[in-house]
Chain A
């Protein structure tokens, strides 16, 4: 149902569908239409022009009615093209699924055979098959289908290999299912959309190929004609009677184009990545659409003021960041802690307008760096600040480093996009940076590619890159989450030393209270897109005011407390596209009172320690300047 709705929303796809529908309908009713005999020759009426009396589209070199031949030919071409596609897809998919699912030797033997067939330019194989079987439309169909089987087999095998290693296949096996049942009931439903996509995008191609063989005189034999052989026969009279070529040629074009339009529509409607917008190009900077700009307050080197970032997907609005205010001083480390979906990463990326857009939009607030507003700044100015004054360290260093450049080149580039220095000089500086993050044999390691390094070493490269231009602020987005604990400890100590040596301001995003406790001076706790508590780390950790903070800290198991039941928070965070009117934590809060759910709760307390709670765990003192 939703598939058809998505398909109909694609205007070009719909156009293709309508055109194709008309053509197929015409082809279906051709036998009952009052047409002349397509094979009746009339030498006196040779090469009649279109719109001649009795021959709407004129006649060909034997005086046969072109309209009639065109419709019969279309019927034939469509039939053969679809048949070839179905045959190739069925056989190819069967081969591909078997090879991909069983893997090992089965896969090896089958795929070597497929590779062998793909080692021919396809027409050679088709020509050879037709040469062996003799010219004829059925033989052309066999040839085209046979030639396309390897393409399907390879494509479907690739998909199946991916599926066969999924955990749900293992789960099915442990549920007592045998191989045949797993293939049919678990794998096949996931492969069918891919087969449909592959078919819908190749039917047009198959029609072209069979038409091509007929054009060469190897397909349909006179007097019956498909569109290809009509063109082939008309070629001799191309100059004297061009309409005999144009008519079948245009028909092929219309048929194939409508099929391709429809095929694209089908692909777009079936491909989940397109649905989620995963195949849209993110702009160089996040889109901004805000009504007003808050006035600067001159706090900290970097300050966020009521920052709001949303994701607009279709008609839905996800309020990922719903009014975040915080600031960081030089030499200070501010931790932002929260669970997944709390908006902490989006907050971090919003600072330098790095939120993927579409669908991300910054809808309110400001980000002040030395009193300049970074939100909505000219791209050129923003680019000059990125990596130079404010730098990032991201979570997964394998995905965040370019896989095809040496790490030395990536560091060199970071320097040279901001400073006019020679390549040699930048390279030396890159090696120096690698030394500063304690990478052994730095000069040698600069020549390595990211995949040749371990996770911990890669993250050091990530840190070195952030340090390249001696920035004022580093925003670290879960930089140690992908690392093992022993490596995490090493990386954290590097970060801590750098901050103390250079007076760096660090904004450190994490979900780990242990890390925050060890590294950060102050901490902000985020929940459902808002900061719910903010204050010095030791105060927040030892004396949390917000019930969420307290429960979250208690639910973390800590080493050395032995076997026990853990404190847990019931329920789930609210979806950010549908937030409750009052406190977002109220539905899960053990201390919830009726007044919690009425209106948005403001931050209460002082600059020193504040929480978004009207029934806090510990009394919050008002500003006591």
Chain B
């Protein structure tokens, strides 16, 4: 059986300081070559801090950013977004900020009709029936259809965003921080809804978040990104309980937790390396308590360190 998504050496480099002629002044490697497989019906969590490239990766998966190198295959077929009408039926995207992903001058009905009209060519009556079905599925009331985005709270708007993604009937959903703009009580509602939809409709999720606890609660497998590279991949239940990469360990130790005394997990005052001028070797070296000479010289490859668990580290835990 083919994988839902197969990324091979996918990377993205942004030019910085573009000039009209000639090469740009610098390049930022937002995502270093990534090779990953997402199976059908799986939820792959991608976790990392700001600037780690997780949003760039997500946007490449739906063709909003063209990759610099590498390929993406969806259901075994090569990625092709030249025809937006065909592409939209294969992968859909749920945005981080639910309000700003809705055009302020369009009613919710217009928003919902767009994918049905342009992707599926439905007529008016068919669209109305389908919208009613979808709204039922995500527990939204029909009267919302005539309202405008500013009349909704974040949680409701995010349900609308999910409903729009469902309308395309794509089997793969890329969820880019779908709950980070929401309050905890509403966040739980949306996460539970996503879980239910996945089981009912047999969807495949790529779920991006900076929140470890959320990622753990929804994912089957987890990818940890640091500074544009995959530093660790593994099953959700193992990766935070028994991290192999020191960065994963640091992330797990930093999350504030009830019942744990307050202490800075890092003794040194550290910052991310300069993206315009990245250090050679493993980018985590300056912050890593286990770093040695080899870490400063060689970029460690992503290798299996435990069953199903891969880490890019010369000195894994």
Contacts and interface: CB of A to CB of B under 8 A. Distances in A.
B188 A559 contact: no
B307 interface: no
Contacts of A186: 103, 106
Most buried by B among A564, A565, A566, A570: A566
B255 A514 contact: yes
Contacts of A484: 49-50, 210
A170 B164 CA distance: 13
A205 interface: no
Contacts of B237: 562-563
A485 B101 contact: no
A176 B272 CA distance: 38
B206 to A, nearest CB: 14
Interface stretch (B23-31, B124-132, B256-264, B296-304): B256-264
Interface string B234-274: 00110011000000001111111111111111100101100
B184 A486 contact: no
A520 to B, nearest CB: 10
Contacts of A189: 103, 105-106
Interface in A500-531: 511-515, 517-519
Interface stretch (B6-14, B32-40, B92-100): B92-100
A340 to B, nearest CB: 6
A139 B241 CA distance: 78
Q: Which of A456, A515, A517 has the most CB of B within 10 A?
A: A517
Given A486-B49, A564-B217, A559 B257 contact: yes
B114 A175 contact: yes
Contacts of B251: 485-486
Contacts of A456: 271
Contacts of A492: 256, 262, 264
Max chain B CB contacts within 10 Å: which of A171, A455, A457? A171
B103 A190 contact: yes
A294 to B, nearest CB: 32
Contacts of B211: 557
Contacts of B241: 560
Contacts of A564: 217
Interface stretch (A24-32, A385-393, A409-417, A548-556): A548-556
Given A517-B257, A541-B258, A564-B217, A175 B164 contact: yes
A572 B155 contact: yes
Nearest to A553: B258
Contacts of A493: 262-264
Interface string B97-133: 1001111111000000011001100000000000000
B217 A557 contact: yes
Which of A488, A515, A559 counts the most B-chain CB atoms under 10 A from its CB?
A: A559
Given A568-B188, A572-B186, A176 B84 contact: yes
A583 to B, nearest CB: 16
Given A174-B93, A490-B269, A557-B217, A512 B256 contact: yes
Contacts of B269: 438-440, 490
Interface string A411-454: 00000000000000000000000000011100000000000001
B240 A565 contact: no
Contacts of B184: 339, 511, 552, 555-556
Interface in B182-198: 183-189, 191-192, 195
B218 interface: yes
B75 interface: no
A427 to B, nearest CB: 22
A293 interface: no
Contact of A190 (B104, B257, B263): B104
B62 interface: yes
A166 B100 contact: yes
B256 A559 contact: no
B212 interface: yes
Contact of A518 (B101, B260, B266): B260
B216 A563 contact: yes
Nearest to B116: A175
B103 to A, nearest CB: 4
A108 interface: yes
Given A170-B95, A514-B255, A563-B220, A569 B262 contact: no
A497 to B, nearest CB: 9
B309 interface: no
A557 B84 contact: no
B192 A489 contact: no
B188 A172 contact: no
B216 A339 contact: no
B1 interface: no
B189 A176 contact: no
A315 to B, nearest CB: 19
Given A489-B254, A563-B217, A174 B272 contact: no
B74 interface: no
A167 B257 contact: no
A52 interface: no
B219 A563 contact: yes
A512 B258 CA distance: 10
A374 to B, nearest CB: 30
Interface string B202-225: 000000001111101111100000
A177 to B, nearest CB: 6
A439 B271 CA distance: 11
A407 B85 CA distance: 51
A484 B119 CA distance: 38
A454 B264 contact: no
A176 B213 contact: no
Nearest to B105: A189
A618 interface: no
A570 B185 CA distance: 8
A558 interface: yes
Contacts of B88: 174-176
A563 B214 CA distance: 9
A336 to B, nearest CB: 15
Contacts of A440: 269
B118 A176 contact: yes
Given A171-B101, A485-B49, A563-B219, A176 B192 contact: no
B254 A486 contact: yes
Given A557-B214, A560-B240, A561-B217, 17 more contacts: A166-B103, A167-B97, A174-B88, A176-B115, A177-B118, A438-B269, A485-B254, A488-B254, A492-B264, A496-B262, A517-B257, A555-B184, A555-B187, A558-B213, A563-B236, A564-B217, A569-B185
Q: 4 smallest A-B Cβ distances: which pairs? A: A514-B256, A176-B118, A568-B188, A339-B183
Interface of A: 108, 166-168, 170-178, 181, 186, 189-190, 339-340, 438-440, 454-457, 484-486, 488-490, 492-493, 496, 511-515, 517-519, 541, 551-552, 555-570, 572
19 contacts: A167-B100, A170-B93, A171-B95, A171-B101, A178-B84, A186-B106, A339-B185, A456-B271, A484-B210, A485-B255, A486-B49, A486-B254, A486-B265, A488-B256, A489-B253, A496-B262, A512-B256, A519-B262, A569-B185
